[in-house]
Amino acid sequence: MNKTTNGPFKTTETIILASGSPRRRELLADLGLDFEVHPSTADEPAPLPDEDATQYAKRMAEMKTLDVATSFTGRTVLGADTIVVLDGQIMGKPADEIDALAKLTSLSGKTHQVITAFCLFLPDGNTTTQAVSTDVDMRASGKEELESYIATGEPMDKAGAYAIQGIGTFLVTAIRGSYTNVVGLPVARVLEELLDTGIIQPRKN
Amino acid sequence: MNKTTNGPFKTTETIILASGSPRRRELLADLGLDFEVHPSTADEPAPLPDEDATQYAKRMAEMKTLDVATSFTGRTVLGADTIVVLDGQIMGKPADEIDALAKLTSLSGKTHQVITAFCLFLPDGNTTTQAVSTDVDMRASGKEELESYIATGEPMDKAGAYAIQGIGTFLVTAIRGSYTNVVGLPVARVLEELLDTGIIQPRKN
């Protein structure tokens, strides 16, 4: 269990995080929340023919959350899914280094969207699912820069072949919207939901 | 000396970072640059009567950079200054916890600007000074939340009494502009300058 004793919020019951992402874990830990990590093991199906990117992200977040919630009756479960979207098309993780270069080249000098959907499953069985979108402007990077970035190994397990919070920081000139949403969880929005339910509250209360 | 062997860029000569900020150090290290840290020890004067925030940030960045450059002839020196501006007024670091609460309360639910100016002093004595501004939207936080944040200790040495990359992440709903600029250095802009001078280049070159 992750426990931060001096964060700004306290948790009335331990939350279950249905995600293995170290970045999401850090974001919740910064809030001071008590949570356990139980990643979903469900397979991620491809988007449906008529499904837009936001619908798909919400469906994935719900699927992961409900998959874990079935094993933990009466608990609060938080799951999320983050996707990278260029010109309406979802970009997955790169298959190999050649694919990483193709993905980074297509993002270079352009604006894309990062959409994170999260699903909060409450002890009474109610759920709330929301999606947040952030615009990300990328530098026009030459082939040598992109190859040098790929050689660091960072792009290989990332949607869109980059990480905004890591070495890939240099690829991004500006964003419009939530930064933590690009990292993997729209913290301010998730916080509002958790405060509304009464599961968390300011530590000084 | 900081040395990263697998970052995406390589340095043709070791850069001098005229700042003690651990965040700026991390941002340069992520790029893979070789640099030494020699913070300026110059006193920071207050803004002049007619000086606007951007002019002041540039003057501070130049002052710190030139202060260090005088001790390192023929070297490349990078200095920076980050300020928080609400309604045209510069907000300094909080004097105490009461002042931190006042500052955070005035930022709550509003948009402010974070301006980082950087100065690059080149071996030939030429300098370039640039400022980048990012809009930051803050959540409407209640007194208990802000007091809980102040109790973590994080606000006390920060301009505007918060850190966007730390526990203070939860205060921010959205930004428009460079995220690293709010952290303390507009990485993409600094990178362009360093590439233009030839001091750094992609590692795969």
pLDDT above 90 covers what percent of chain B? 92
**Confidence class of residue A9 from pLDDT cuts 50, 70 and 90?**
very high
CB B155 within 8 A of CB B101: no
Tens digit of pLDDT for each residue in A158-204?
Answer: 999 999 998 999 999 999 999 999 999 999 999 999 999 999 999 98
The residue of chain A with its CA nearest to that of B189 is A173
The predicted structure's pLDDT at residue B5? 56
Q: How far is B128 from chain A (nearest CA, A)?
A: 19
**Domain chopping of chain A, boundaries:** 9-202
pLDDT tens figures, B80-136: 999 999 999 999 999 999 999 999 999 999 999 999 999 999 999 999 999 999 999
* B133-158: average pLDDT: 97
Residue B139 confidence class, pLDDT cut points 50, 70, 90: very high
Q: Residue B176 and residue A174: Cβ atoms within 8 Å?
A: yes
Put simply, whether B89 touches A (Cβ < 8 Å) is no
A65/chain B closest Cα distance in angstroms: 23
Q: What is the mean pLDDT of chain B?
A: 95
pLDDT, residue B138, reads 98
Contact A45, A90 (CB under 8 A): no
Each residue's pLDDT tens digit, A126-157: 999 999 999 999 999 999 999 999 999 999 99
Find chain B residues with C-beta within 8 A of A202's C-beta.
142, 144-145, 147-148
Task: Give tens-digit pLDDT for B39-60.
Answer: 999 988 999 999 999 999 999 9
CB B128 within 8 A of CB B119: yes
Amino acid at the residue A41: T
Q: How far apart are CA B154 and CA A25, in angstroms?
A: 20
Which residue in A83, A112, A90 sits closest to A173, CA to CA? Answer: A112
Residue A55 has pLDDT above 60, yes or no: yes
User: Topology of domain A9-202, per CATH?
Assistant: Maf protein (3.90.950)
Q: Does A179 touch chain B (CB under 8 A)?
A: yes
The CA R_g of chain A, rounded to the nearest whole Å, is 18
Find the mean pLDDT for residues B57-82: 97
Residue B145 in this model has a pLDDT that exceeds 80: yes
Give the count of beta carbons closer than 10 Å to the beta carbon of residue B36. 13
pLDDT score of A5? 56
Instruction: Please tell me which of the candidates B30, B169, B177 has its beta carbon nearest to residue A30.
Output: B169
Whether B18 shows a pLDDT value over 60: the answer reads: yes
Contact B27 A167 (CB under 8 A): no
Task: Give the CA distances from residue A5 to residues A12, A113, B124, B156, B165, in Å, rounded to whole numbers and listed in that order.
Answer: 13, 35, 52, 19, 19
pLDDT at A36 over 80: yes
Do A174 and B169 count as a contact with CB atoms less than 8 A apart?
no
Contact A100, A61 (CB under 8 A): no
pLDDT of residue B44: 87
Percent of the residues in chain A that have a pLDDT greater than 70, as a whole number: 98
Cβ atoms B160, B91 nearer than 8 A: yes
Residues of A with a known catalytic role: 81
Here the tokens at position A13 are 């019951």
In angstroms, the CA A169 to CA A162 distance is: 9
Q: Are A16 and A75 in contact (CB under 8 A)?
A: yes
The overall average pLDDT reported for chain A is 95
Q: Which residues of B touch A139 (CB under 8 A)?
A: 188, 191-192
A205 pLDDT tier (thresholds 50, 70, 90): confident
State whether B152 and A188 contact (CB < 8 Å): no
